[in-house]
Amino acid sequence: MNVVATTPTPNPSPQGGGESIAAPSVVEARGLSLTFDTADGPVQALSNVDLSVGRGEFVSFIGPSGCGKTTFLRVIADLEQPTAGDIRVNGLTPEAARRARAYGYVFQAAGLFPWRTIEKNVALPLEIMGYSSRERQERVARTLDLVNLTGFERKFPWQLSGGMQQRASIARALAFDADLLLMDEPFGALDEIVRDHLNEQLLELWARTNKTICFVTHSIPEAVYLSTRIVVMSPRPGRVTDVIESTLPKERPLDIRETPEFLAIAHRVREGLRAGHGDE
Amino acid sequence: MTASAASTPTESPATLRRLTDGKALPIAIVVAAIVLIWYGFTVYLNAPWQIGLYQRAGTEWTAADLVRDTMAQERPVLPAPHQVVAEMWKTTVETRPTSNRSLLNHAWITLSSTLLGFAIGTTLGVILAVGIVHNRAMDKSVMPWVIASQTIPILAIAPMIIVVLNAIGLSGLLPKALISTYLSFFPVVVGMVKGFRSPEAIQFDLMRTYNANRTQTFFRLRWPSALPFLFTSMKVAVAISLVGAIVGELPTGAVAGLGARLLAGSYYGQTIQIWSALFMAAALAAVLVALVGLAQRLVMARMGARP
């Protein structure tokens, strides 16, 4: 395990699966590697990653671009195939988990279908999964309320701001009640103020729904503010260099970001990122 | 910009003014220039024959006589615009539409095979595109043939299609329509293959995360994404369908239709008839393209396109 290689971990190794988390893990990766064959030769996007994500956790993946954080998320979602190692999602292979509609995925771009209204966009997965029209309506209303978009049902995506569009795409991922939410830099394209606001709402939503969230980001404050655990990754080859358990309370007002505790965690994330860089 | 403009109540008169300022005047100027140049060429091209006529008859003539007479010939090299307009008026408004001399009658015959050929061509084009997008073998094997089919001059194979289909007992509307089909399926195939492949990678990924099957992905993602491409291809397809129908009428022995009008006109040197048939064909094409454009606007508006 390369997790302990660069930075001393105060807690007993957090990826020990059963020992630190009582509930069965939602994501369990063992020696996971993925190599892309590109025109310039093979690129190792993931190298020997061990990680387990417990039920109800909020895990952030942070690292510079090319560190494989998005790739890891895509492997969980069965959008990429690992070349070595083993990964289980809810105890199943990623493909079986995807077929069982085990997760909702929020992409970097909202990716709403421009020809569908907001409610129709949120209803898209429900249509595909064969929910009755009554249930669709009821779920669309409920999830739009969850992301504070009630009243915008009949709007088309272009009539909404970027932040609202991203919220709609989160509602779309939540609509079918998957327990796992995979979010790939969902707020990366938004400005700081909107991002703060959405971070706050996301925490609230997480507290209310009890979902497990895997969240890819390149922002240190965002990772520290949101997560119960932060996975620091480094590039070439993509690997985990540190896993930090957050000591922050579950209740997190925005100004928690000024507290020494917060800054200490942020500092450790920064150290981890720097150490990963120094490895090259 | 559009959003703020839409909220101001003064928008519609402003739009109207912009339209007239922006388009009507330049178009009028261009049309006037074309008509003027046309009249110039009418005099220039018809003058030699007219002068020969004067000389043989031994009449005195002035420049004014020449100008007047070159615009009133029965079989001019180039008829004057007003001659064409008069002929069109005579053969549309003043002739019974059921008559064999009515331009409307001929236009309808051409239009019906245009529309039939266009409908078959569009359907065929969409079906081929669906196959090409979903099947690797079809992608590799069909596309080259589709492109090759368009390198054959339609004038060369149109008579053969008519003759072959006649031999197997098909005559009348369908053979002509099939020539329209032959031309019109091509832009639809090319446009729809591009359209069906136009969704972004993350939209396909999204459908995959829902474990959507091919049919669901097709109808919920590929088809709506391809609609703008469909209408653009259909605009091209409907115009060349008309060309196909006219070409298809040429080898049928010039019985009826705008193509027949063109052929008969050229047999008997009826240039005025040729030009009025040409203008009727152009007007028909313009109307057809405009109708497709209208359908496009209606459908796109329903699909939430920005106004």
ipTM value: 0.82
Co-location of A51 and A35 in the same domain: yes
Q: Does A264 touch chain B (CB under 8 A)?
A: no
Chain A, nearest residue to B304 by Cα: A115
If asked whether residues A153 and A257 sit together in one domain, one would say: no
So what's the pLDDT on residue B196? Answer: 95
Maximum Cα–Cα distance across chain A: 56
Domain, as residue range, for A166: 113-177
Task: Tell me the CATH number for domain B103-302.
Answer: 1.10.3720.10
Q: How far is CA A64 from the centre of its chain?
A: 16
Residue A107 lies in a domain: no
Task: Report the relative pairing of strands A25-38 and A41-54 from DSSP bridges.
Answer: antiparallel
Please count the residue pairs, one from chain A and one from chain B, whose beta carbons lie less than 8 angstroms apart.
Answer: 55
> Of the residues A132, A154, A177, which one is the last residue of a structural domain?
A177
Quick check: B209 contacting A, CB < 8 Å? Answer: yes
Q: Give the pLDDT confidence score for residue B281 in this predicted structure.
A: 92
Is there a domain that residue A94 lies in? yes
User: For residue B299, which residues of chain A lie inside 8 Å, CB to CB?
Assistant: none
Whether residues A194 and A121 share a domain: the answer is no
Domain ranges of chain B: 2-78, 103-302
Q: Give me the residue from A109, A115, A125 closest to B210, CB to CB.
A: A125
The H or E element that residue B96 is part of is none
Whether residues A89 and A189 share a domain: the answer is yes
Inter-chain residue contact B304 with A116, CB threshold 8 Å: yes
B74 vs A: CB within 8 A:
no
Domain count along chain A: 2
Residues A49, A125: one domain?
no
Report the amino acid identity of residue A219.
S
B23 token code pair? 């388009």
Please, which pLDDT band fits residue A43 given cuts at 50, 70 and 90? confident
In which band, very low, low, confident or very high, does the pLDDT at B13 lie, cut at 50, 70 and 90?
A: low
User: What's the pLDDT at B184?
Assistant: 93
Which tokens in the block code for residue A128? Answer: 């595909």
On whether residue A271 sits in a domain, the answer given is yes
Residues A67 and A86 in one domain: yes
End-to-end CA distance of chain B: 11
- Is A249 inside a domain boundary? yes
Q: Residue A31 burial (CB < 10 Å; 0-12/13-18/19+)?
A: middle
A198 shares its domain with A134: no
Closest to B113 in 3D by CA, of B168, B171, B165: B171
Mean pLDDT check: name the lowest of A1-10, A155-164, A261-270, B34-43: A1-10
pTM exceeds 0.90 for this model? no
Is A58 a domain residue?
yes
Do A211 and A97 share a structural domain? Answer: yes
Same-domain pairing of A57 and A127: no
Which residues have a Cβ under 8 Å from the Cβ of B276 and sit 6 or more positions away?
Answer: B84, B87, B88, B91, B103
Is residue A8 in a domain?
no
Residue B95's pLDDT is: 81
Rounded Cα gap, residues B192 and A235, in angstroms = 41
Instruction: Provide the 8-state DSSP code for A21.
Output: -
In a domain, A11, yes or no: no
* Structural domain ending residue among the three candidates A162, A177, A192: A177
Domain CATH for A83: 3.40.50.300
Average pLDDT on B212-218 reads 92
Q: Taking all residues of chain B, what is their mean pLDDT, rounded to a whole number?
A: 87
DSSP 8-state symbol, B77: S
Same domain? A200 vs A267: yes
Query: How large is the average pLDDT for residues B24-31?
Result: 89
Domain end marker among A141, A162, A177 = A177
